Amino acid sequence: MNEVDLRDSSPEPFLLFPKDFLWGVSTAAHQVEGDNCNQWSDWELAGRIKSGDTCGKACDWWENAERDFDIARDLGLKGLRLSLEWSRIEPEEGRFDPAALQRYRQMLEALHERGIEPIVCLHHFTHPRWFEQRGAFLRADAPQLFERFTREVAKAVGDLCRFWVTFNEPNVYAACGYVLGEFPPGHKGQLFNALRVNRIQARAHVLAYRALHELVPDAKVGWAQHYVVFEPGQGMASRWVASLLDRLFNHTFFDLIESGRLGFPFGLLNGRNREARGCCDFVGLNVYSRFHVAFDIRYASTFFANVFVPSHVPQGDPGFDRPYGEAYPQAISEAVRRAAGLGKPIYIMENGVPDAEDQIRPWLIVSALRELHGLIAEGHDIRGYLHWTLTDNFEWNEGWKLRFGLVALDPETQHRTLRSSAKLFSEIVRGNGLAVSTMAPAPLSNTLP
Ligand code: BGC
């Protein structure tokens, strides 16, 4: 718990954020760089992008990330999270590409020149094809390979970055790749492999944490945890499956870092990862949605849980074959209360909504920040808010169908247009907070009849 002076002296009641609060945006290499060459490129070639879209040049960052960095500077942003693409840096096992590392140096320098703090993520769902082919994070030696990659990165750009995220959403990576079959390698129902992947990632996180501290003296190292609210329907059975999903999805990786072992009952099956215990300098939280959960015998592959989004709740644009999720700013409070147990500073590393017409994004931003301000006032040590995302980017399996940007992008022409949310967010950032009267329209739903 921290002590922050949130008193304000302006005539209009104002939700002032702590001095040095890190306001920014998050991005990921595969989604913005273009001309990718990782396991997701193979997934796309295999026709697995539901919309049939191709990533192509994405936001053209490999050639010209600086165009979006200019926009970030003009909006007054103070931080920008990006990931460095392992498949570019180590295209063949053991061969590191100096030109790729040089390009990343250039990008990080470009951010500093614009007064923007870079936050570097080392694994945002993608890795080299050779790593995928040898079994990725199912293999016991994956942590050493990840550590070797981390060391090369730290040596090449360590002087340009203080904040490091080892893994983005290990829970999403494991659940989508090994239980739901939505991400490569596309396996379904492999719960034990998903747990194994998370345990091996926790070990990789520890090795990367230590390597970064050895090579970058002032490094702050954490991970980004996706957190979803599972709202049970009526009855004991629904409550039971909702709490099972909550345990598996929200708590597996948290438990590994908090206590060095998987939570009950999964911890009984595996030994401890003692070294992982407390191994982070901050916790990153990625928070978007709430899902409703009802016990249903027909859903055997998802532990008899029917996970759905009622049509009357606020939500952004739907995905290709299902709703994206309920836009639920209150999820931030649940996530922060869970993360507070670790006793480390907290950063909201992602929060956003797919909303091409910008109908509910302004409401989402304002509501999320009110939530956050309340939590800080309660004493939670929350140091920053990074919105997902700056410019519309390639949304994994959904391709170009879902638009999360403060800035709209036409991927054909690379033309960019500021959405009203960009202007709203920019005012908030410049004012280090928002007036209490800042618009808080009733929750709208793009999908209301
Ligand atoms: C991921 C992003 C993704 C965003 C929106 C997060 O879970 O980290 O890569 O684009 O959600 O779906």
Digit-coded pLDDT (tens) for 372-419:
999 999 999 999 999 999 999 999 999 999 999 999 999 999 999 999
Residue 28 Cα, ligand 1 centroid: separation in angstroms? 9
Instruction: Give the ligand 1 atom nearest the CA of 324.
Output: 12
Please tell me the predicted confidence (pLDDT) of residue 158: 98
Structure tokens at 412: 């054909």
Which residues' Cβ are closer than 6 Å to ligand 1?
28, 168-169, 172, 226, 286, 350, 388, 395, 404
Residue 234 Cα, ligand 1 centroid: separation in angstroms? 30
Residue 286 Cα, ligand 1 centroid: separation in angstroms? 8
Instruction: Give the ligand 1 atom nearest the CA of 404.
Output: 5
Please tell me the predicted confidence (pLDDT) of residue 4: 53
* 404 Cβ neighbours under 8 A, 6+ residues apart: 352, 353, 354, 355, 388, 389, 392, 393, 395
Per-domain boundaries in the chain: 20-437
Instruction: Give the ligand 1 atom nearest the CA of 388.
Output: 4
Ligand 1: which residue has its CA nearest to atom 9? 28
When pLDDT is cut at 50, 70 and 90, the band that residue 449 belongs to is: very low
Instruction: Give the ligand 1 atom nearest the CA of 125.
Output: 9
Is 127 within 8 Å of 136 (Cβ atoms)? Answer: yes
Please tell me the predicted confidence (pLDDT) of residue 181: 96
Q: Is residue 6 over pLDDT 70?
A: no
CA distances from 175 to 82, 195, 334 (A): 23, 9, 21
Ligand 1 pocket mutation, candidates 350, 361, 386, 394, criterion most atoms within 8 A of CB: 350
pLDDT digits (tens, 9 = 90+) for 79-105: 999 999 999 999 999 999 999 999 999
pLDDT digits (tens, 9 = 90+) for 107-150: 999 999 999 999 999 999 999 999 999 999 999 999 999 999 99
Q: What is the average per-residue pLDDT within 361-376?
A: 97
Q: Give the whole-angstrom CA distance, residue 248 versus residue 230.
A: 11
Q: Is residue 441 over pLDDT 80?
A: no
Residue 362 Cα, ligand 1 centroid: separation in angstroms? 19
Q: Which residue has the tokens 């360590």?
A: 158
Q: What is the average per-residue pLDDT within 246-274?
A: 85
Residue 7 Cα, ligand 1 centroid: separation in angstroms? 34
CA distances from 46 to 15, 41, 43, 97 (A): 49, 9, 5, 27
Residue 14 Cα, ligand 1 centroid: separation in angstroms? 31
Ligand 1 pocket mutation, candidates 36, 388, 391, criterion most atoms within 8 A of CB: 388
Is 395 within 8 Å of 31 (Cβ atoms)? Answer: yes
Q: What is the average per-residue pLDDT within 238-246?
A: 97
Ligand 1: which residue has its CA nearest to atom 5? 395
Residue 10 Cα, ligand 1 centroid: separation in angstroms? 37
Higher pLDDT pick, 332 / 274:
332
Is 135 within 8 Å of 145 (Cβ atoms)? Answer: no
Of 1.20.140.10, 3.20.20.80, 3.40.50.300, 3.30.43.10, the CATH number of 20-437 is 3.20.20.80
Q: Is residue 2 over pLDDT 60?
A: no
Residue 323 Cα, ligand 1 centroid: separation in angstroms? 15
Residue 398 Cα, ligand 1 centroid: separation in angstroms? 11
Ligand 1: which residue has its CA nearest to atom 12? 395
